[in-house]
Structure formats: C-alpha cells, structure tokens
C-alpha cells in the first residue's frame, strides 16, 4: 500500500514538474489520489526548495537540471521522506530504487545505480 502511495505521489510530482503547475492545480487533475499519496506529495512540494538544495549539494559532477524528470520526482520524494523521518532511510532508498526499476530504468540498471549512489550520498549527508 505504501509503495502504491509513493508511486502516485511520484506521478503527481512529475506532473507538477512537466506541466509547470502548482500542487493544488495538480490535485484538480488527479481523480483517485489516496490520502497517503497526497500527504507524501504535499510534504515534498512544501519543502521543495530545501529538498532541491540537498540534492544539488549531493550531486558529484552533475546538476539537478540534468536529471530526467521521472528520476527527479523519485529522488525528491525519497529525500522528503528522509527529512520527514518516520521511516528508516534504508527502507526509503530501497523503495525509491524499486520504483526506479519500474518507471525509469531501461534494463541497463544505470538509473538504479545512479539513484542508489545519489540517495546514499544524501543519506550520509543527512546523518
């Protein structure tokens, strides 16, 4: 159930980024968003600048603008969960990698490997 909520939240965050709309505008478009997914996405959206700063400082020889939008949404959601602190960071990273496998990775595991390194850097920076 939590993974489904994370996927829905990731999709909502992706829509916000692609369409250049607000969280509230994205909610109007989303018909079957459950409460947990809405909470995940809302927390992330409310802390987006802090989350993007954390991601930016954790990237090595890379910029946040170069991340594909699906990966950016997955990573933002994972970082927001790490900041919120109700789940162990390792669980959050594992869930983000499973979502990456399903929605971003093209079979070569490059997206999973990149996201894993980035999220591990972020986890270490937050400790």
As a whole number of angstroms, the distance between CA 86 and CA 84 comes to: 6
| Cβ neighbours, 10 Å, residue 40 | 24
Per-residue pLDDT of the chain (127 residues; tens, 9 = 90+): 789 999 999 999 999 999 999 999 998 877 778 889 999 999 999 999 999 999 999 998 999 999 999 999 999 999 999 999 889 999 999 999 999 999 998 888 899 999 999 999 999 999 8
85-124 as b/e, with b when 16 or more CB fall inside 10 Å?
eeeebeebbebbbebbeebbbeeeeebbebbbebbebbbe
Q: Give domain limits for the chain.
A: 2-126
Predicted local confidence at residue 33, as pLDDT = 83
Predicted local confidence at residue 31, as pLDDT = 74
As a whole number of angstroms, the distance between CA 115 and CA 72 comes to: 9
As a whole number of angstroms, the distance between CA 110 and CA 117 comes to: 11
CB-neighbour burial class of residue 73 (10 A; exposed 0-12, middle 13-18, buried 19+): buried
Predicted local confidence at residue 44, as pLDDT = 96
Predicted local confidence at residue 85, as pLDDT = 86
Question: Domain 2-126's class?
Answer: mainly alpha
> The pTM is what?
0.94
């Amino acid at each position: 159930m939590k993974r489904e909520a994370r996927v829905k939240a990731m999709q909502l965050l992706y829509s916000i980024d692609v369409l250049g709309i607000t969280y509230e505008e994205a909610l109007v478009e989303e018909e079957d968003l459950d409460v947990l997914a809405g909470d995940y996405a809302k927390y992330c959206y409310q802390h987006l600048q802090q989350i993007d700063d954390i991601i930016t400082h954790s990237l090595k020889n890379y910029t946040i603008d170069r991340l594909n939008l699906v990966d950016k949404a997955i990573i933002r959601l994972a970082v927001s969960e790490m900041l919120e602190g109700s789940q162990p960071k390792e669980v959050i990273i594992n869930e983000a990698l499973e979502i990456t496998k399903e929605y971003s990775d093209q079979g070569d595991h490059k997206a999973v490997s990149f996201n894993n390194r980035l999220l591990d850097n972020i986890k270490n920076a937050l400790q």
